[in-house]
Amino acid sequence: MTDTEIKLQGMETLITALGEVQAEKFISLIIREPFDYTVWQRKLWTDKSAEEISRIAMERRKEKRADNPFWDRDRVTRVLEHYESQTEEEALAEDEAAFEASGQTIMEVPTELVPTVRELLAKHKAA
């Protein structure tokens, strides 16, 4: 499995399980806090068998199965490929163009507030 495929499957899994906003919040928490994945995994399901964990995961997946029309597999693949293939110059040009776009504002937001801001934007867009 390539790095892109791992990222794609990971994002799909997070979005399916948590929703777009909570997936973003999860990533923010993981990046922000000192984190040892191996230790975390060992402590996570100490009271459950592999069969129980599998059953719980399958049930949760069925509950959260509602397809997200915005972040389908094709779109996630295209976005990942776009950013992974960009040169530094192309990324800089894209950033500069965003600052010049009309009808939008660019501002600094504390990292811990990003999930909340994204949630507000999602609600605004849906209204």
pTM value is 0.34
Report the C-alpha gap between 52 and 115 in whole angstroms.
Answer: 31
The domain ranges of the chain are: 3-126
Mean pLDDT computed over every residue of the chain: 79
Range with the largest mean pLDDT of 16-20, 97-101, 105-109: 16-20
Measured between alpha carbons, how far is residue 82 from residues 9, 36, 39, 44, 78 in Å? 17, 30, 34, 35, 6
Report the C-alpha gap between 48 and 87 in whole angstroms.
Answer: 46
Tens-place pLDDT, residues 26-85:
887 777 767 676 777 777 778 888 888 888 877 776 665 555 566 667 777 888 888 888
Q: What average pLDDT does range 119-125 have in this prediction?
A: 84
Long-range contacts of 64-67 (CB under 8 A, 24+ apart): 64/16, 64/17, 64/18, 64/19, 65/16
